[in-house]
Protein backbone atom coordinates (compact mmCIF):
# COMPACT_ATOMS: atom_id res chain seq x y z
CA UNK A 1 0.00 0.00 0.00
CA UNK A 2 1.37 3.40 -0.98
CA UNK A 3 2.06 5.73 1.91
CA UNK A 4 2.18 9.51 1.92
CA UNK A 5 3.72 12.06 4.23
CA UNK A 6 1.25 14.80 4.99
CA UNK A 7 0.90 17.74 7.34
CA UNK A 8 -2.34 18.59 9.10
CA UNK A 9 -2.82 21.60 11.32
CA UNK A 10 -5.45 20.56 13.84
CA UNK A 11 -6.83 23.12 16.27
CA UNK A 12 -3.72 25.20 15.71
CA UNK A 13 -1.21 22.38 16.23
CA UNK A 14 0.81 21.19 13.26
CA UNK A 15 1.17 17.43 12.83
CA UNK A 16 3.35 15.56 10.36
CA UNK A 17 2.13 12.03 9.74
CA UNK A 18 2.36 9.19 7.28
CA UNK A 19 -0.88 7.76 5.98
CA UNK A 20 -1.95 5.19 3.47
CA UNK A 21 -3.52 6.52 0.31
CA UNK A 22 -6.87 5.09 1.40
CA UNK A 23 -6.86 6.57 4.93
CA UNK A 24 -9.92 8.70 5.58
CA UNK A 25 -9.49 12.06 7.26
CA UNK A 26 -11.67 10.97 10.17
CA UNK A 27 -9.42 7.98 10.85
CA UNK A 28 -6.28 10.10 10.59
CA UNK A 29 -7.75 12.49 13.15
CA UNK A 30 -8.96 9.84 15.54
CA UNK A 31 -6.54 6.94 15.16
CA UNK A 32 -3.32 8.67 14.18
CA UNK A 33 -3.61 11.95 16.07
CA UNK A 34 -5.97 11.13 18.95
CA UNK A 35 -8.67 13.70 18.24
CA UNK A 36 -11.40 11.31 19.26
CA UNK A 37 -14.03 13.99 19.80
CA UNK A 38 -14.97 13.53 16.16
CA UNK A 39 -17.22 10.50 15.86
CA UNK A 40 -17.58 7.93 13.11
CA UNK A 41 -21.10 6.91 12.21
CA UNK A 42 -22.19 5.80 8.78
CA UNK A 43 -18.87 6.34 6.95
CA UNK A 44 -20.94 7.15 3.89
CA UNK A 45 -21.71 10.87 4.13
CA UNK A 46 -25.19 10.39 5.55
CA UNK A 47 -25.13 11.10 9.28
CA UNK A 48 -22.75 14.04 9.81
CA UNK A 49 -21.30 12.62 13.04
CA UNK A 50 -17.81 13.09 11.61
CA UNK A 51 -18.20 16.77 10.68
CA UNK A 52 -15.14 18.98 11.18
CA UNK A 53 -14.10 22.33 9.76
CA UNK A 54 -11.48 22.21 7.02
CA UNK A 55 -10.07 25.56 5.91
CA UNK A 56 -13.15 27.23 7.32
CA UNK A 57 -15.77 24.95 5.76
CA UNK A 58 -17.74 22.19 7.40
CA UNK A 59 -16.81 18.85 5.85
CA UNK A 60 -17.79 15.29 6.62
CA UNK A 61 -14.41 13.84 7.43
CA UNK A 62 -15.46 10.35 6.34
CA UNK A 63 -15.78 11.64 2.80
CA UNK A 64 -12.31 13.15 2.55
CA UNK A 65 -9.07 11.27 2.26
CA UNK A 66 -6.35 12.34 4.65
CA UNK A 67 -4.09 13.06 1.68
CA UNK A 68 -6.68 15.50 0.36
CA UNK A 69 -6.36 17.43 3.62
CA UNK A 70 -2.59 17.74 3.33
CA UNK A 71 -1.68 21.29 4.31
CA UNK A 72 -5.18 22.10 5.54
CA UNK A 73 -6.28 23.77 8.75
CA UNK A 74 -8.66 21.46 10.57
CA UNK A 75 -10.86 22.43 13.48
CA UNK A 76 -12.48 19.74 15.59
CA UNK A 77 -14.95 19.85 18.44
CA UNK A 78 -12.04 19.73 20.92
CA UNK A 79 -11.28 23.31 19.92
CA UNK A 80 -14.69 24.72 20.82
CA UNK A 81 -14.24 25.17 24.54
CA UNK A 82 -13.20 23.49 27.74
CA UNK A 83 -15.07 21.84 30.57
CA UNK A 84 -14.74 25.04 32.57
CA UNK A 85 -15.13 27.49 29.71
CA UNK A 86 -17.80 26.40 27.27
CA UNK A 87 -18.17 27.89 23.83
CA UNK A 88 -21.64 29.46 23.37
CA UNK A 89 -22.58 26.55 21.13
CA UNK A 90 -21.74 24.09 23.90
CA UNK A 91 -23.66 26.22 26.38
CA UNK A 92 -26.62 26.24 24.02
CA UNK A 93 -26.69 22.45 23.76
CA UNK A 94 -26.43 22.14 27.52
CA UNK A 95 -29.09 24.71 28.33
CA UNK A 96 -31.57 23.55 25.71
CA UNK A 97 -31.01 19.81 26.27
CA UNK A 98 -29.83 19.44 22.69
CA UNK A 99 -28.38 16.00 23.25
CA UNK A 100 -29.06 12.64 24.82
CA UNK A 101 -26.48 9.99 23.94
CA UNK A 102 -24.25 12.69 22.45
CA UNK A 103 -23.04 10.66 19.51
CA UNK A 104 -24.20 13.17 16.91
CA UNK A 105 -23.27 16.18 19.04
CA UNK A 106 -19.69 16.92 17.89
CA UNK A 107 -20.86 16.96 14.28
CA UNK A 108 -23.94 18.99 15.15
CA UNK A 109 -21.79 21.54 16.95
CA UNK A 110 -19.29 21.90 14.14
CA UNK A 111 -22.10 22.33 11.64
CA UNK A 112 -23.74 24.84 13.96
CA UNK A 113 -20.49 26.78 14.01
CA UNK A 114 -20.53 26.79 10.22
CA UNK A 115 -24.12 28.04 10.18
CA UNK A 116 -23.46 30.82 12.67
CA UNK A 117 -20.26 32.00 11.04
CA UNK A 118 -22.08 32.35 7.74
CA UNK A 119 -25.24 33.80 9.25
CA UNK A 120 -25.00 35.12 12.82
CA UNK A 121 -28.76 35.50 13.21
CA UNK A 122 -30.39 32.60 11.39
CA UNK A 123 -34.08 31.83 11.45
CA UNK A 124 -35.22 28.47 12.75
CA UNK A 125 -35.82 27.41 9.17
CA UNK A 126 -32.30 28.40 8.19
CA UNK A 127 -30.90 26.43 11.12
CA UNK A 128 -32.92 23.39 10.08
CA UNK A 129 -31.68 23.71 6.51
CA UNK A 130 -28.11 24.07 7.74
CA UNK A 131 -28.42 20.93 9.86
CA UNK A 132 -30.00 18.85 7.10
CA UNK A 133 -26.89 16.70 6.72
CA UNK A 134 -26.67 15.87 10.43
CA UNK A 135 -28.84 13.12 11.85
CA UNK A 136 -29.79 12.53 15.46
CA UNK A 137 -31.31 9.25 16.53
CA UNK A 138 -32.45 10.27 19.98
CA UNK A 139 -32.91 13.99 20.66
CA UNK A 140 -35.81 15.89 19.17
CA UNK A 141 -34.48 18.26 16.56
CA UNK A 142 -36.56 20.94 18.25
CA UNK A 143 -34.05 21.08 21.09
CA UNK A 144 -31.09 21.11 18.73
CA UNK A 145 -32.54 24.07 16.83
CA UNK A 146 -33.21 25.73 20.18
CA UNK A 147 -29.57 25.14 21.11
CA UNK A 148 -28.26 26.79 17.95
CA UNK A 149 -30.63 29.71 18.41
CA UNK A 150 -29.48 30.07 21.99
CA UNK A 151 -25.87 30.12 20.80
CA UNK A 152 -26.68 32.70 18.14
CA UNK A 153 -28.10 35.00 20.80
CA UNK A 154 -25.00 34.54 22.95
CA UNK A 155 -22.65 35.15 20.05
CA UNK A 156 -24.57 38.09 18.58
CA UNK A 157 -26.35 39.83 21.46
CA UNK A 158 -26.40 43.18 19.65
CA UNK A 159 -28.13 41.79 16.57
CA UNK A 160 -30.88 40.24 18.65
CA UNK A 161 -31.27 43.28 20.88
CA UNK A 162 -31.64 45.37 17.74
CA UNK A 163 -34.77 43.52 16.80
CA UNK A 164 -33.32 40.61 14.89
CA UNK A 165 -35.92 38.25 13.57
CA UNK A 166 -37.90 36.57 16.30
CA UNK A 167 -39.40 33.33 15.13
CA UNK A 168 -39.73 31.53 18.40
CA UNK A 169 -41.48 28.30 17.82
CA UNK A 170 -43.99 27.51 20.55
CA UNK A 171 -44.08 23.83 19.61
CA UNK A 172 -42.95 21.75 22.59
CA UNK A 173 -39.93 19.50 22.30
CA UNK A 174 -40.76 16.21 20.68
CA UNK A 175 -39.26 12.78 20.64
CA UNK A 176 -36.38 11.51 18.54
CA UNK A 177 -38.65 10.61 15.66
CA UNK A 178 -39.11 14.25 14.69
CA UNK A 179 -38.22 15.05 11.12
CA UNK A 180 -35.59 17.73 10.69
S1 LIG B 1 -19.64 9.10 9.58
FE2 LIG B 1 -19.32 10.69 8.16
S3 LIG B 1 -21.31 11.27 7.53
FE4 LIG B 1 -21.64 9.57 8.84
S1 LIG C 1 -28.04 12.72 20.88
FE2 LIG C 1 -28.00 10.61 20.39
S3 LIG C 1 -27.75 10.58 18.23
FE4 LIG C 1 -28.08 12.65 18.70
Residue 19 has pLDDT above 90, yes or no: yes
How far is the centre of ligand 1, averaged over its atoms, from the C-alpha of 147 (Å)? 22
- Taking the C-alpha atoms of residue 63 and residue 74, their distance in angstroms, rounded to an integer, is 14
pLDDT of residue 156: 81
- Nearest CA owner, ligand 2 atom 2: 101
Fold of 3-79: Ubiquitin-like (UB roll) (3.10.20)
Residue 29 has pLDDT above 60, yes or no: yes
* CATH superfamily of domain region 88-161: [2Fe-2S]-binding domain (1.10.150.120)
Atom of ligand 2 nearest to the CA of 102: 1
Where exactly are the structural domains of the chain? 3-79, 88-161
Interior/surface letters 129-152, b for 16+ CB within 10 angstroms, e for the rest: ebbebbbbeebbbbbbbbbbbbbb
Full-model pTM: 0.87
At residue 54, the 3 state secondary structure works out as strand
Amino acid sequence: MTEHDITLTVNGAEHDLTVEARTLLVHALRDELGYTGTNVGCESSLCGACTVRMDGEAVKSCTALAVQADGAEIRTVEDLGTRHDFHPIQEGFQEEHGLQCGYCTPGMMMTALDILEENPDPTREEIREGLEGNLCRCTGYQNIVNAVQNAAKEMQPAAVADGGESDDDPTPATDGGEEL
